[in-house]
Amino acid sequence: MSGSGALIVNSGASLGMGSAVSQTLDRALINNGNVTMDFGASLTGTGSIQNNGQFSIVNALAIAPAFTNAAGATLTKYFDTGVTTFSGAFSNAGTVNANSGTLAYSGGGTDTGTYNVASGANAAILGRHAQPEFRRAAVC
């Protein structure tokens, strides 16, 4: 998706994103509702993602756009056992649930939020400025 402006998911609305081939995000995606990503490939581009609601990752992929998980928002990875890598800046002031597989962060960012890592899941911080504190949770 390219061009000026932003794609806004309103409160109470849902956006499903799925593809077996890489997709490009060159504009802002602002989520105030529910977004589900079910890619077998990567999300590339120079855009950004602002999560103010519920953001779910179902399938392993790489996410290049900067990602902000705002206070009160929730990012959850579930279902697949693969690695999801955030290569752009990742900032978390909300809640991140790693219910399966691995969440990897390599692009810097800030962390003041909560990380819940289920038994058998992983969170890997690579090249970050500050290491967040991870909490193992029996149920996320």
Per the CB < 8 A criterion, the answer to whether 71 and 93 are in contact is: yes
pTM (two decimals): 0.86
Neighbours of 122 (CB within 10 A): 15
The identity of residue 21, as a single letter, is V
The pLDDT tens digits of the residues spanning 121-138 come to 887 765 554 555 555 444
For the record, the structure tokens of 129 come out as 């400025």
DSSP state of 111: B
d(CA 48, CA 35): 14
Per the CB < 8 A criterion, the answer to whether 22 and 42 are in contact is: yes
d(CA 133, CA 10): 31
The pLDDT value given to residue 109: 86
